[in-house]
Amino acid sequence: MYPVPGHLAFSLLCHRYFNVELISVIVGGLLPDLIDKPLDDLFHITPYGRYAMHSLTGLAIAGLVAYVLFGKQIGLAYSLGHLAHLIADADFNPWFWPFYDHQFPAGITIVDLVRAPGKILFPSWILLETSILGLVLFLYSKYAEKKTTQAAILIAIAGLSIYRITRVRPEEMAMQP
């Protein structure tokens, strides 16, 4: 998930159903992109915008740091958010970095957002990500108190998420320098 809405949605699901601290789970859900994407897109230090923080090694190290610095509850909340981020990005993560060599697909960079914002910010997948977030936010409303309603919404979120992860990415979305 490149856009923020999807990662925010998965973090909020963790907050709602695992009853963890809100800010920490959101930080865990967003931090992998806030670290890996600039290292590739802006500084060209890494080979791709999903690198160390998008691996199980990155999750373990960052979760341990959060636990040591802030305690058990914050460490757990951060780790759940980070894991939710990895699951949301399951279509191509270097899960076992640095122990396994990973081939990275062509991707969209932050620089591409400046070059062609209309092509990147308004396609159907941003609507999909925002729809997932809307469904998650609905779970927080009084209209989603019934277990059957929650189950139906969670099934819809799962279906949209599976579609998002397994969809064929159009080649024209990857901008060429």
pLDDT per position as a tens digit, 135-161? 999 999 999 999 999 999 999 999 998
**For residues 125-130, average pLDDT:** 84
Q: What is the residue type of 61? A: I
Q: Which residue is associated with the tokens 């779970």? A: 139
119 touches 140 (CB < 8 A): no
45 touches 25 (CB < 8 A): no
pLDDT surpasses 90 at 1 = no
Q: Determine the structural domain holding residue 98 and report its residue range.
A: 4-173
Classify each residue of 139-148 as buried b or exposed e, where b means 16 or more C-beta atoms within 10 Å of its C-beta: beeeebeeee
Question: Hey, what are 120's tokens?
Answer: 């990147």
Contacts 24+ apart (CB under 8 A), 79-82: 79/28, 80/14, 80/18, 80/20, 80/25, 80/28, 81/10, 81/11, 81/14, 81/24, 81/25, 81/26, 81/27, 81/28, 81/29, 81/30, 81/31, 82/28, 82/29, 82/31, 82/32, 82/53, 82/58
For the stretch 31-68, pLDDT in tens is: 999 999 899 888 989 888 889 999 999 999 999 999 99
Half-sphere CA count of 82, side-chain side, radius 13 A: 30
The helix-helix angle for 72-88 and 22-41 (nearest 10°) equals 50
Q: What is the DSSP letter of 171?
A: G
pLDDT band at residue 127 under the 50/70/90 scheme:
confident
Number of domains in the chain: 1
Angle at 106 between CA 96 and CA 169, to 5 degrees: 100
Is this structure's pTM higher than 0.85? no
More confidently predicted of 29 and 118: 29
